[in-house]
Amino acid sequence: MRSVTVTGKTIEEAIQDALNQIGTVEENVDVEVIEEPKKGFLGFGGKPARIKVSEKPDIMEQTRAFLEKVISNMGVEARIEGKKEDRDLFFTLSGEKIAILIGKRGQTLNSLQYLTNLAANRFSNRFVRVVLDAENYRERREDTLKKLADRLANKAMVTNREVQLEPMPSLERKVIHLYLKDKKGISTHSDGNDPHRRVVIVPRHK
C-alpha cells in the first residue's frame, strides 16, 4: 500500500495532487486531514491544507484474510485460490478435510459464503458479491438441482398440482428458475422468507 503526504491551497486540491502521485481514484484511498487550510490577513500569513492519502487494502486481500481466519477457527486447513471479475469475488477451497467446509447439502459452504459476503461488503464502498466453491461442489450441485427440477416439473404436470421444493439459498433457487424458464406446461416462483424461501413449480393449465 502506498501513502503520500501533500499540501495544497484547499483540501480538494491536495487530494487531487495525491491521487495523481499514487495513480488511482478517490474511492480507492483513505484521506486523513492533518491540517486545515488557513486564510491569512490581507493575503499574508496563510497556511495550506496538509493531508495524508493512503491506498486502501485490496478487497481480495482483505476478503481472503477474513476467510482464512474463519476457516482456521473451524480447525480446518485449506488452500484458497481467488479471482476477481468486476464486482464478483470467486474463491475456491481445497484440502484434505474440505468436506467439513461443504457440509450437508452445502449448508456449511453457503453459510461461509454468506458471512464472507457480509465481510467483503464492509471492506468495499460499492456492492460486491462473493462466491465460494470447494472441490467443484457448485457444478455438481447444479447438476443435481437440474435433475431434481426435471423430475418435480414432470410430477407437477402429471398430478396437475403445485410442487414445493425444499428451502434453498438464492443462488440455488436461481439455477432452478433459469433451468425451467422455457419448459412448457409449468411456471415457477419463490415463496416464503429466507432462510425458508423455496421454489414452487406450478402447472400452467391449473
CATH of the domain at 153: 3.30.1370.50
pTM score of the predicted model: 0.68
Q: Which domain holds residue 44?
A: 3-55
3-state secondary structure of 193: coil
- 155: its cell numbers: 410430477
Question: Residue 8: which CATH number?
Answer: 3.30.30
Dihedral through CA 64, CA 66, CA 71, CA 72, nearest 10?
Answer: 110
Q: Which pLDDT tens digit goes with each residue over 106-151?
A: 889 999 999 999 999 988 878 999 999 998 999 999 999 999 999 9
Same domain, 145 and 127: no
d(CA 131, CA 100): 18
Same domain, 90 and 51: no
Same domain, 88 and 143: no
Domains in the chain, number:
3
d(CA 197, CA 189): 10
CA Rg value for the chain: 26
Same domain, 69 and 127: yes
CB contact at 8 A, 138 and 105: no
Q: Which pLDDT tens digit goes with each residue over 20-29?
A: 888 887 877 7
